[in-house]
Structure 1
Amino acid sequence: MKNAWRDGVLVDEKGWIWVKKEKLHTILRTSVDNARYIAMKLPSEDKQYFNGEPYIRGFQVVAQLAKEIEENGVGKRGLALIASKEFYESIYMCDTVVRLRLEYDKDKAVARRTLKKKRKKTYNVKYDELTGDPLKLNCEFSHIRSYAIYKQYADDIDNGLMVNKMTHRLITERGINDENQLLALCQEQGWKTDWYEPYINKFRF
């Protein structure tokens, strides 16, 4: 198992941990078929190829480990599962990986401050992209997939719309976190929805 963690983990430039799919059965102490099924059920955004090999986001693996420990954490297998989870945590908390995450968060925060200016200039936006009202001086960039939950899209000018402050306030008050929730709000409020198709076609979630 130690070898599986040593040889089957990749840390990307964001400090995110990825686990090689072929090592999953060893890490989870389960069969190859079970590991393949678990991987198949994961969201596509948590699976990625590096150097031609499939990997899975580490947090998904540790979540599965926690589930297995809770349900089957007795005897030798239970001890092995706990040890496997501890290997993950030692990687996650090592100084180099922590530093990468801190740098990534800092870069995202800096980029976030430029989104309003960049989108407005790039697309020559003069009207609230949801209500159609003229943009006011205090207009804001409103993320479609929220900054807090979908940080990987946080600095993309196409993951947001230029809206007036009151529009953004309602979006925030209603707890909108993704494109489907925003679409429902637009339909409820009678706002524009022509942003939706280009958005999902661009990102292909």
Structure 2
Amino acid sequence: MSDEQNLPVVHSAKDLRISFPEKNKHISEKEAEKNRCLVKSNGAYTNDGRAYIDKSALPHLLATDKKGANRFFNNLEDEDKLELGNQNLASVSSVNKELSERIQEPRDTLQKERLRDSEACVNAFRDAPELEKIREVEESKNRKEQPKLKAKKIKAENITACELTRAPLDPDADAHHIERQADKPRKARDLKNIVVANKPPHREVHAAGAETPEELSALCAEKGWNDPTKS
């Protein structure tokens, strides 16, 4: 589903071939089957291969109650949740992190086995072959688009000056990723994550290790540069 604000299209995990593991032998058939049904019926994914779980499935999967699930969801960073009308989705990466934390806590042994089964089911969804294929395609697009990003950014925003120093843009200026492609590959082709900068200031950015929006912003303040993270 999507809306006019360009929210992502979301697809149901029911469409995927999920190879769920054998149930955890320490929990009941009923609990194990519920984990699998909840992941299958409440899982969702976006066109770039990112997987999510609907908040309604979290009380059982996290071995908590609705209040605990709401607290977990409300504390998530914006990039780890999607709120689409009546559908509230938490990223599988955030659910996995929470499951890992809960498994490591001093909890009832049977409850921890339930959590381990939930974790295995969530991972099976994450690793569905259709999602892996989508991610492979996205990686290929990232590689192919890299040489074109500078020209694309310049054309889209009519850039004539270095976005850091505001000096006239040199012909050999670089396209700099605010958040590194190695860390945020989903942002590799996002023009909002690209800064067109002349080579000297670009080298200074890397020499200073300013590889996050916060670090780049601090360097710009120190140098008296324009801060592209605030534009």
Structure 1 counterpart of 2:163, one-letter code: E
Please say if 1:167 is aligned against 2:201.
yes
Tell me the equivalent position of 1:71.
105
Following superposition, the deviation at residue 144 of structure 1 comes to: 2.4
Following superposition, the deviation at residue 118 of structure 1 comes to: 1.1
Residues 50 and 105 (structure 1 numbering): CA distance in 2 closer, same or farther, change over 3 Å? farther
Matches within 5 A, 1:109-120: 109-120=143-154
Structure 2 counterpart of 1:197, one-letter code: K
Following superposition, the deviation at residue 6 of structure 1 comes to: 1.5
CA distance in 1, matches of 2:86, 2:202: 41
* Structure 1 runs of 4+ with >4 Å offset: none
Contact 1:146 1:176 in 2 (8 A): no
CA distance in 1, matches of 2:85, 2:72: 22
Contact 1:73 1:79 in 2 (8 A): no
Return 5+ residue gaps in structure 1 as ranges: 199-205
Please say if 1:197 is aligned against 2:226.
no
**Aligned to 1:59, which of 86, 93, 97?**
93
Deviations 1:76-132 (A, max 9, x none): 111111111111121222321211111112223323322100122233323211112
Q: RMSD over aligned Cα, in angstroms?
A: 1.9
Q: Percent of aligned positions with the same letter in both sequences?
A: 23
Contact 2:82 2:88 in 1 (8 A): yes
CA distance in 1, matches of 2:85, 2:75: 23
Residues 169 and 73 (structure 1 numbering): CA distance in 2 closer, same or farther, change over 3 Å? farther
Contact 1:149 1:177 in 2 (8 A): no
Please say if 1:30 is aligned against 2:82.
no
**Aligned to 1:153, which of 173, 184, 187?**
187
CA distance in 2, matches of 1:78, 1:157: 43
Residues 100 and 172 (structure 1 numbering): CA distance in 2 closer, same or farther, change over 3 Å? same
TM-score by length of 2: 0.78
Return 5+ residue gaps in structure 2 as ranges: 1-34
TM-score by length of 1: 0.87
